[in-house]
Amino acid sequence: MQSKVIDAFIRVAGRDGVLLTPEDLAVYSYDGTFAEGVPEVVVLPRSTAQVVGVVEIAAENRLPVIARGMGSGLAAGSIPCRAGGVVVCFTRMNRIIEIDEANSTVRAEAGVVTADLQAEVEKRGMFYPPDPSSIRHSTIGGNIACNAGGPRCLKYGVTGNYVLGLEVVLADGRVLNTGGKPIKDVTGYNLTGLFTSSEGTLGLITGALLRLVARPRFAKTALAEFDRLEDASRAVNAVLGEGIVPASLELMDRTAIGCIEEAMHLGLDTGVEAALIVETDGADEGTVAREVESAGRICREIGARTVKVARTEEERAELWRARRSISPALARKAPNKLGEDITVPRSAIPEVVRRLREISARHGLPIVIFGHAGDGNLHPNILFDKRKPGEWERVGRMVGEIFAAALAVGGTLSGEHGVGVLKRPWFERALGPVSVEVQRRIKQALDPLNILNPGKMFEDEV
């Protein structure tokens, strides 16, 4: 990159806001995947005005601009994939600007860590429900750009359900404000929705107005263990069919349970084929308890071998410790893992699990299955050793077959992680040519020079 361009970035963001050394650039060359790509320069803006300045320089010099939160993404979305470019990292734009208790909203800059925002609003008795497992190492901007979800999304919805408005720097440097505090707003196209889950390809999100709800005061959690995965899946539908909407309904398959037990010794039954964690929550203790008891009864009627309702807060924390320890537990089983996040109609979960097991057996690599059964969002994790010749290539083939299995039952490629680079080859197969063509036109309209996160989502340049 020419030194006059670097100087221009320094004039905008200050010397300490521009990183150039190979050591610094290396830190911004990866995310939560195996992909890597080194930027030419990293800018850490402190204000929307600085973001505008950076984008204007990039547009003038036709430089790729890659937005980055905390780089926890699982689709290689925040990694430069064309040579170089400027990474705009939002971690210094981390102020909570306003908590409006009367209207139950919070206005925050894009780089606020999601867990920090949650903690801050909870001090005021309010609640920001989206709960990606990466809540402590991802940002509000990254969550919006990927429309992040988590266990609680069954009852409360995903990030996009809480975005009331956005401040976005467009590819030509103009600042677009969308939405506002009114809950209902049908004045024009839903631009807030368009930028939510756009993965940094349509604009740089600099701030957001988010909706809050009242904090649920009580929660009850149960673990149901099943001899047959089909029964666990039927139980999910039966619980929801009864009108109970648990905050979370999490599924773990036999391999996941085995991995957790081996690592944590929590006393889980490793002889069962599947387990469900069911959590109800709300404002009334009696209702919350009755709902978890009813969910437990339904699980038993459908064939659960055991149902254990956590009696104390410690027991409840223990159940969640089991669920949250899956990822670290897998690290003890194999040096590498690759996790996908296909989403299928709930009724298709047993069929997809059967197909995933076939894929695993055919390629000789374990696939551990867990996920948010209530939303049909599964995380099949392939365990492997990248150093062993041929294993990485096998993993690539397995991923393709996993996507094909999801699509075959009417599912989709990703419920949470987005397309990024990794799912690009399947994008058109998942959506069809008309949808991709419409999306390309939106991209061309908003970013005619294709400088915003080029090479993401679309298979070739647009």
Ligand X SMILES: Cc1cc2nc3c(=O)[nH]c(=O)nc-3n(C[C@H](O)[C@H](O)[C@H](O)COP(=O)(O)OP(=O)(O)OC[C@H]3O[C@@H](n4cnc5c(N)ncnc54)[C@H](O)[C@@H]3O)c2cc1C
The residue ranges that bind ligand X (CB under 6 A) are 31-32, 66-74, 77-78, 90, 110, 132-134, 138-139, 141-143, 145-146, 148-150, 199-200, 204-205, 327, 416-417, 420, 453
- 102 class by beta-carbon count within 10 Å (0-12 exposed, 13-18 middle, 19+ buried): exposed
Q: How far is the CB of 55 from ligand X (least distance, A)?
A: 11
116-120: long-range contacts (C-beta < 8 A, 24 or more apart)?
117/210, 120/96
Q: How far is the CB of 147 from ligand X (least distance, A)?
A: 7
70 versus 406: smaller Cβ distance to ligand X:
70
Please state, in angstroms and rounded to a whole number, the distance separating the CA atoms of residues 163 and 437: 26
Query: To which H or E segment does residue 156 belong?
Result: helix 153-156
199 versus 391: smaller Cβ distance to ligand X:
199
113 versus 309: smaller Cβ distance to ligand X:
113
Query: Taking each helix axis from N to C terminus, what angle separates 349-363 and 391-408, rounded to the nearest 10 degrees?
Result: 160
Q: How far is the CB of 364 from ligand X (least distance, A)?
A: 26
198 versus 357: smaller Cβ distance to ligand X:
198
E strands present in 334-432: 336-339, 367-372, 377-384
Angle at the Cα of 96 from the Cα atoms of 92 and 102, rounded to 5 degrees: 165
Please state, in angstroms and rounded to a whole number, the distance separating the CA atoms of residues 388 and 390: 6
List residues bridging with 370 in a β-sheet: 252, 379
87 versus 244: smaller Cβ distance to ligand X:
87
143 versus 360: smaller Cβ distance to ligand X:
143
Q: Are 201 and 447 in contact (CB under 8 A)?
A: yes
Backbone angles phi, psi at 231, to 5 degrees: -65, -40
Neighbouring CB atoms inside 10 A of 35's CB total 18
Q: Please give the order of strands across the beta sheet that includes 274-282.
A: 304-309, 218-226, 274-282, 248-253, 367-372, 377-384, 336-339
Q: Are 251 and 373 in contact (CB under 8 A)?
A: yes
Q: How far is the CB of 76 from ligand X (least distance, A)?
A: 8
For 226, 363, 391, the CA distances from 53, given in Å and listed in that order, are 57, 50, 45
Q: How far is the CB of 296 from ligand X (least distance, A)?
A: 25
Q: How far is the CB of 228 from ligand X (least distance, A)?
A: 27
Q: How far is the CB of 227 from ligand X (least distance, A)?
A: 28
37 versus 73: smaller Cβ distance to ligand X:
73
200 versus 376: smaller Cβ distance to ligand X:
200
Q: How far is the CB of 269 from ligand X (least distance, A)?
A: 26
